[in-house]
Structure formats: structure tokens, C-alpha cells
Amino acid sequence: MDAFLGVSSSLTGRPWAGPDEMSRRAAEAIAQAHALPLPLAAILARSKVLAEEVPGYLEPKLRDLMPDPRQLRDMEAAAARVNRAVAEGERIAVFADYDVDGGASAALLLTWLRALGREPTLYIPDRIDEGYGPNVPAMEQLARAHDLIVCVDCGTLSHEPVAAARGADVVILDHHLGGETLPEAVAVVNPNRQDESGDLGHLCAAGVTFLMLVEARRQRREAGLPAGPDLMMSLDLVALATVADVSPLVGVNRAFVRTGLQVMARRGRPGLAALCDAAGLTTAPTDYHLGYVLGPRINAGGRVGRADLGARLLSTEDAGEAQSLAERLDGLNRERREIEAAVRAAALAQAEARGLEAPLAWAAGEGWHPGVVGIVAARLKEAADRPAVVIGFDGDVGKGSARSVPGVDIGAAMQRLAHEGLIERGGGHRMAAGLTLSREQLEPAMARLEELLATQGAGSFGPRALKLDGMVLPPAATPELVARLSAAGPFGASAPAPRFALPDCRILDARPVGDGHLKLTIGDGTCRLGCIGFGLVESDLGLALLRHAGKRFHLAGRLDLNHWNGRTSAQLMLDDAAPA
């Protein structure tokens, strides 16, 4: 395919790729059939939406996309056991992971159980002292004081810890890749068990927990009992977890996020309302805010603070407590950014010295905070455009995180390393994984991981093309168009935000703003459009645009809204540029 707008190597070194001929024709047909702007029709065509499916896609209804919870194995047993614990006044503990998905899943259960008159115990392991998932001492301790332990966003591979919970029943609600055998629990509900079809494999743990509560309500109604609280009001938590955990925005996940954002806009959950205020959000949250504004703040508790802060924030009904927790998490997020910046610089320098041409980019260092290695792995992945692993050592024990690129399953590869005995523990899902290993295991494990990823094609793709959905002329980039484009959302994993090229632009003003950001104004005559390039000032792209000397450029990026001084305007979130 010819390079889009003739850009075979942009200012960031990437070729530009536009829609193929079939997609262009499909977009034109959709635009004509439904009187839609062509840029919106292009997004629908890219998503393989047929012309007759357009109305339902633009207005996804949960009732149309909601799966039967009983489609998942062990679901009826899980819901029945939770209902029995409620009915008989049993002591219930919720064991959750320390990230957004775990915190949201825990908050779903806490809120529901409290509404039915039960006060469960929340247990979230410390990332540094205990690591991910159930551990033997914690499960033994919980089993001594509880009748039922519900593990959310963890537990599928925790055979020994589950077995250690003697005297208590264990229910697991998870989505991480399962092994050949399952722990001996009352129920293991997980769409990514090996004996599942995988049809619901895109669900995060909060989605699985939500389905369990739907089934629990159904069982209560069938037994003639009060069904419990309205679960629709809890979809704000499911939406947050779905986006923050980078779950594919397909199928019911689209409806979860769309509906959840509507719920969130009502500010009915004190914790999320307080967090929006602490983050300075003055408009209703969008899918972008879930992943890049709210999610990181909730994660900050598990990364550099107390692990249970996020779940407590999301489940509290007290506005004062919510404000205090939100402010604390906002402060921890600032601290996390400082720690992350130092580790990122060291990791990138190490990986570059090792060479970024191999199928795997990796780095390991003494004292690197376990709470930021996942974020740094994501940054290293972006820089190298290939799977990345970052490991922090404390003495002889290293704990790390891995992030992958589309088409390369890092979770399966990490599980293979654990099975071969090359690391102490490891697992995850296609795009992210975690591992624990000794210093002696480091080099052999990374060499073997590189082999496994190479067989999947990692590192063999060359510079990835910047995929664009078409062209938009600057005068057409209006707030009205941005609003129309949002109807094809939410955007995230498996549904990338639409990106367009603005051709042959004249730069009227270019200047640095804020902390290394680039601000442009483009246009001709009375038509002007603002552009913002975050962190681009010192990059080759930013320097070329700052020194434009009257030259014209093709610009590429994402159209968004800018709210300033009571006015709303369209702006381009700049990704790339090329000389026109």
C-alpha cells in the first residue's frame, strides 16, 4: 500500500498508513446510508461495522450485549456460595489485587454485601512484602477468622495458598490466564480458564465480579428474597477497571464503559467524585480520563503507598473520608511520578546499551521500586516498539513486570518460563505479565524469554506505521465533529482512538508551554486550530516544528476538545508530522 499523503518516513521515522480501498468504500457507503460525517464513517468501517449494524454500534445497549453469567463455568456455584454466606451471617473476607481492577472488583463486592447488611473484611497484599496474589500466611490468617474468602483479580494459579485456607471456603473471580489445573476452591470463575471457550476472555476481573453479582441477584429473586441493590449504579467501577486494566473494548465491554461513564457523570459515588476533584477534572470523565487521570491515581496506593487505599476510596460512602483518601492518592501519584522518572531514565539507558534491536528490551536494577516497574516497562516498550521487561532487585530477589505489543502474547511466554523452572513465578495475560526470579536466574531467563518471543515475531516488524483513519481539513475540525466521533467510542485497547491527518498546514505560532509541551496554532485566514504535543519540545519532531521557518507540514493526531475560560474548542493532540 502507498504511504498515506506520501509520508514514507515522518519526523518520528514512521511511515503513515491510511485506510485501504475496501475500508474507504465501506466508509463512503456508511456515510451515505446513515448521513454521517465521513470521518465517523471511517472509524466504523475500520471496526468492521456493517451498514445495518451502525445504529446499534453507535448506541450500544447493555441489555443487547449482556452475556448470560451462567455461560462461565462455576458461576452458579460461586453466586450460591456468596448468597449462602449472606443468608447465614457468615464471616466473609475479600482478598483483592492491589491495582485498579482489583480495587474496583473489591469495591463492587464490598458495596453489594454492605447493602445486604454484611460487613466483609478487605485484605489487599502489600506489593513489596507479599507480592501479587494470595500467599500462604495471609490465607491461613484469613481462614482462621472467616468462613468464606472471595479472591478477586487473583487466585487462578494460587494452588498452595488456597489449600492453606483450611476451615474456610474459597471462591475465585479472576481473568488471568489459567494453568492446566485449578486450585481446589468452591468455584473458579475465570473466562481465561483453559476449559473455557474464550468468548468472554476480554472481561477484566471487575466484569467477572459484576456478572457474579448479576447471577447472585437472579438466584435471590428465584428464592423469593430481595434482589439487592441496583447493579446498574455500579457500572462506574466496571468501566474504570475495564479501561485502566487495558481490557479490549469490544462486545459487552463497550456497553460497560459507555454506561459506566454516564453513571460516573452523575457523581453519585463519593470516592470517584472526590478523585475527579483532586485531579482537577472540571468536566464529566471520558475514557481517556479513566486510563490516564483517575486510574494512575488509584494505582498509586498499591505502588508507593498503602495497598488498600484505592479499594477504600471506591467503596466509601462518607464524603469526608473520600476527600481525605483522594487527596492522599493524588499526593502519592506525584511521588510515584518522581520515582518513575528516575527508574525510567536508568532502565532506558541500560536497555539502549544492551541494544534495542533484539526481540526483547529489558533492564534490571538494584532498589528499583516494585511499584513503578510496570509503568517503566510500558515506557520501554513504547521506546523500543517491542516487548519489554523491567525488574527491580532487593538483595537476591527480583520482582518485575512485562508489557507486550499487539500480536505477541507475553503472559503465555512468562507462564512457560515458570513451567520450565527458569523463574520462581510468572504469569499474566497477552499484553502484561509479572515475574519473580533470583539474580542467578536473570540472564538465562531473559535469554529464554527472548527466544520464546522471537518465535511469535517480536522485533521483526520494523518501524510500525502510524495508522490513520483518513484526512480532516482544519476548517472541518470543529467541536461538533469531535462530539460526533465520540459516538464510535469508547476508545482504548482493541479500539484505538481515531487519528487523522491534517494536510498541508501552515504554522501560525509554535512555542513551548508547561513542562516540555509543544503548543501550535495552525490555519489560514480566519480559520485557526490549536494543537498540543505533550512532552515533544526536545524531540526531533518538536524541534522541527518550533524551527518551521514558514514551511508547511502534514500533521497527524487525535482530535479532542479543549475547555478554557468557559469556551470549548477543538484541538489536535499531536502525534507526528511530516514536511508537506
Stretch 279-293: mean pLDDT: 94
Residue 128's pLDDT is what? 80
Place of cell 447471577: 215
| pLDDT tier for residue 429 given thresholds of 50, 70 and 90 | confident
402 bridge partner residues: 389, 433
pLDDT at 143 over 90: yes
Question: CB–CB of 530/520 below 8 Å?
Answer: yes
| pLDDT tier for residue 127 given thresholds of 50, 70 and 90 | confident
Stretch 390-414: mean pLDDT: 94
Interaxial angle between packed helices 295-304 and 270-278, expressed in degrees from 0 to 180 and rounded to the nearest 10: 90
The residue among 126, 129, 139 whose CA lies nearest residue 306 is 126
Distance CA 348, CA 305 (A): 25
User: What is the arrangement of strands in the sheet containing 361-366, beginning at the earlier edge strand?
Assistant: 361-366, 388-394, 397-403, 432-438, 425-428
When mean pLDDT is compared across 208-212, 359-363, 455-459, the lowest value belongs to: 455-459
> Mind listing the domains of the chain with CATH numbers?
65-330 (3.90.1640.30), 355-455 (3.10.310.30), 468-579 (2.40.50.460)
Question: CB–CB of 446/360 below 8 Å?
Answer: yes
Residue 1's pLDDT is what? 61
Q: Is residue 208 within a helix (H) or strand (E), and if so which, with residue range?
A: helix 205-222
β pairing state of 388-394 and 361-366: parallel
Per residue in 319-345, pLDDT (tens digit) is 999 999 999 999 999 999 999 999 999
How many CB atoms neighbour CB 72 within 10 A? Answer: 26
113 bridge partner residues: none
Peptide bond into 490 cis (omega under 30): yes
pLDDT at 258 over 70: yes
pLDDT at 414 over 90: yes
pLDDT at 246 over 90: no
CA distances (Å), origin 1, targets 20, 21, 48, 279, 417: 8, 10, 19, 43, 39
Mean pLDDT of the chain: 94
Per residue in 47-98, pLDDT (tens digit) is 999 999 999 999 999 999 999 999 999 999 999 999 999 999 999 999 999 9
Helices (H), 251-308: 252-265, 270-278, 287-289, 295-304
| pLDDT tier for residue 430 given thresholds of 50, 70 and 90 | confident
Helices (H), 435-497: 442-455, 479-486
Residue spans of beta strands (DSSP E) within 5-91: 16-17
Q: Is 307 helix (H, G, I), strand (E, B) or coil?
A: coil
Query: What's the pTM?
Result: 0.88
